[in-house]
């Protein structure tokens, strides 16, 4: 396949600039198994499609205020620093703009000097290693001076409400620089309805990095390199996944981040073990899924690795056709947009359901 096979036309006005007034009022496009026509519901209806014995796996990574605006000591020039990943205590890899004058030893001040960053390493494409200094707690200083890292297609400045809405209700482990957006639609009411139906929930962590926004430039997807993202899978989560599979239940991945973790660590039989690590797994058609049976996700950018993953799971032609229908029906797209539930699975031994498709 070629990268152009994952292109589609999207009117700019369908890119959601704000979230739905209530999280679970987002629309939900459902792709049933076996090629049946899409169904159009609200996210609050999600429990209707799950049954006792299913396991919903969520990513409880918490978005940090990763965007910092400061001035270079000496010249006073404006500098934007975007946190990418912590490399040591108080040291971070960042994306700096403009980067040309941020040589080793340069100092950037934030909040009138409350927080300082000294460049200790220079990388390519605007990447720098910086050492932060502050009189108090670094995490608190970053919280006070940092902004919500809204993605570039949200064409506005972050607002106070984004600190809550660009975060899942179950976020617990700080470290992401972008939200695992499929989880933004969940409410406590939805979780209560799942529990009432006998659907369990397991929690893992993958800290979403800036690479999630990086387009695939090469026409051959195999030439694209994924950036590593850190993950953690607890013993409780691994036990829940393995017990669900053994009992014939379905593994419901909330978002592409969960898919990438589970598929990165699954053995040939689909079982997983508790672990920590980093993954650069790039899933695109054709791909045989070993662990995931059902995928809940948002609508993704054209030519993106995320759309390729969804297409591997739900069959490219069917997914692209569903996107076209979503455009026709004026669904809202991307991080603050609506959701999609793919009930078929690329897993060869998937219980109950089968997408009959490309993932096999």
Q: Has residue 232 been placed in a domain?
A: yes
Q: Is 173 helix (H, G, I), strand (E, B) or coil?
A: strand
Predicted confidence (pLDDT) at residue 270 exceeds the cutoff of 70: yes
Q: Has residue 350 been placed in a domain?
A: no
Angle at 340 between CA 334 and CA 341, to 5 degrees: 150
Q: What is the reported pLDDT for 299?
A: 98
Asked if residue 243 and residue 123 are part of one domain, the reply reads: no
For the chain, give the number of residues: 360
* Cα(68)–Cα(148) distance, integer angstroms: 9
Q: Has residue 159 been placed in a domain?
A: no
Asked if residue 195 and residue 317 are part of one domain, the reply reads: yes
- State pLDDT tens for residues 89-125: 999 999 999 998 899 999 999 998 899 999 999 998 8
* Cα(305)–Cα(312) distance, integer angstroms: 11
Q: What is the reported pLDDT for 344?
A: 75
Provide the Cα torsion 37, 43, 48, 54; round to 10°.
100
Predicted confidence (pLDDT) at residue 355 exceeds the cutoff of 50: no
Higher local confidence (pLDDT), 19 or 225:
19
Asked if residue 223 and residue 303 are part of one domain, the reply reads: yes
Q: Has residue 359 been placed in a domain?
A: no
Asked if residue 89 and residue 57 are part of one domain, the reply reads: no
Asked if residue 169 and residue 134 are part of one domain, the reply reads: no
For residue 353, what are its two tokens?
A: 């359901």
Asked if residue 225 and residue 95 are part of one domain, the reply reads: no
Q: Which candidate, 212, 150, 162, 170, places its Cα nearest to that of 62?
A: 170
Q: What is the reported pLDDT for 35?
A: 82
Q: Has residue 172 been placed in a domain?
A: yes
Predicted confidence (pLDDT) at residue 357 exceeds the cutoff of 50: no
Query: Which residues have CB under 8 Å from 252's CB, separation 6+?
Result: 50, 54, 55, 56, 57, 199, 293, 294, 295, 296
Predicted confidence (pLDDT) at residue 360 exceeds the cutoff of 60: no
Helix or strand (DSSP H, E) at 321: helix 316-328
- State pLDDT tens for residues 279-305: 999 999 999 999 999 999 999 999 999
Q: What is the reported pLDDT for 277?
A: 96
Q: Has residue 9 been placed in a domain?
A: yes
Asked if residue 241 and residue 111 are part of one domain, the reply reads: no
Asked if residue 8 and residue 113 are part of one domain, the reply reads: no
Domain's final residue, options 147, 181, 215: 147
Higher local confidence (pLDDT), 16 or 213:
16
Asked if residue 178 and residue 285 are part of one domain, the reply reads: yes
Phi and psi (nearest 5°) for 153?
A: -80, -5
338 falls in which pLDDT band (50, 70, 90)? very high
Q: What is the reported pLDDT for 108?
A: 96
CATH number at residue 207: 3.40.1780.10
Domain's final residue, options 121, 147, 173: 147
Q: Has residue 357 been placed in a domain?
A: no
Q: Has residue 353 been placed in a domain?
A: no
For residue 321, what are its two tokens?
A: 């056709």
- State pLDDT tens for residues 129-187: 999 999 889 989 999 999 999 999 999 999 999 999 999 999 999 999 999 999 999 99
Predicted confidence (pLDDT) at residue 24 exceeds the cutoff of 80: yes
CATH number at residue 110: 2.40.10.240
Domain that holds residue 235: 3-63+164-342
- List Cα–Cα distances, 90 to 124, 338, 344, in angstroms: 21, 37, 45
Asked if residue 192 and residue 49 are part of one domain, the reply reads: yes
Q: Which of 54-68, 221-235, 343-357 has the highest mean pLDDT?
A: 54-68
Domain count, the chain: 2
Does pTM top 0.95 for this prediction?
no
What is the chain's mean pLDDT, rounded? 92
Q: What is the reported pLDDT for 158?
A: 95
Asked if residue 94 and residue 56 are part of one domain, the reply reads: no
Count Cβ atoms within 10 A of the Cβ of residue 137 and give its class: 0-12 exposed, 13-18 middle, 19 or more buried. Answer: exposed
Q: Radius of gyration (Cα) for the chain, nearest Å? A: 21
Asked if residue 216 and residue 73 are part of one domain, the reply reads: no
Instruction: Give the residue-averaged pLDDT of 80-96.
Output: 93
Helix, strand, coil % (nearest 5) of the chain?
30, 30, 45
Residue 271 carries which DSSP code?
A: -
């Amino acid at each position: 396949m070629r990268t152009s096979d994952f292109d589609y036309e999207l009117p700019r006005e369908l890119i959601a600039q704000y979230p739905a007034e209530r999280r679970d009022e987002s629309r939900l496009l459902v792709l049933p198994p076996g090629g049946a026509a899409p169904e159009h519901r609200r996210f609050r209806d999600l429990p209707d499609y799950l049954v006792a014995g299913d396991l919903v796996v969520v990513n409880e990574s918490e978005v940090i205020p990763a965007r910092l605006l400061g001035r270079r000591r000496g010249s006073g020039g404006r500098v934007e620093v975007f946190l990418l990943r912590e490399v040591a205590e108080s040291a971070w890899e960042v994306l700096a703009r403009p980067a040309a004058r941020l040589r080793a030893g340069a100092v950037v001040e934030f909040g009138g000097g409350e927080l300082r960053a000294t460049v200790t390493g220079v990388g390519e494409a605007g990447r720098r290693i910086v050492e932060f200094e502050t009189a108090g707690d670094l995490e608190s200083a970053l919280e006070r001076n940092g902004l919500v890292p809204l993605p570039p297609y949200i064409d506005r400045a972050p607002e106070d409400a984004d600190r809550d809405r660009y975060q899942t209700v179950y976020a617990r482990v700080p470290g992401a620089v972008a939200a695992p957006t499929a989880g933004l639609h969940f409410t406590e009411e939805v979780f209560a309805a799942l529990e009432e139906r006998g659907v369990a929930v397991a929690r893992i962590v993958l800290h979403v990095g800036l690479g999630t926004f990086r387009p695939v430039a090469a026409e051959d997807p195999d030439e694209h390199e994924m950036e590593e993202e850190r993950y953690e899978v607890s013993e409780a989560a691994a036990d829940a996944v393995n017990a669900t599979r053994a009992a014939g239940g379905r593994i419901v991945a909330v978002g592409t981040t969960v898919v990438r973790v589970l598929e990165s660590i699954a053995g040939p039989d689909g079982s997983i073990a508790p672990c920590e690590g980093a993954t650069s797994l790039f899933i695109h058609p054709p791909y045989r899924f070993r662990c995931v049976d059902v995928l809940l996700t948002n609508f993704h950018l054209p030519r993106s690795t995320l759309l390729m993953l969804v297409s591997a799971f739900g069959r490219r032609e069917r997914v692209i056709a569903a996107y076209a229908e979503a455009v026709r029906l004026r669904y809202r797209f991307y991080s603050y947009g609506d959701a999609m539930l793919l009930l078929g699975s690329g897993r060869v031994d998937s219980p109950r359901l089968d997408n009959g498709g490309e993932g096999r």
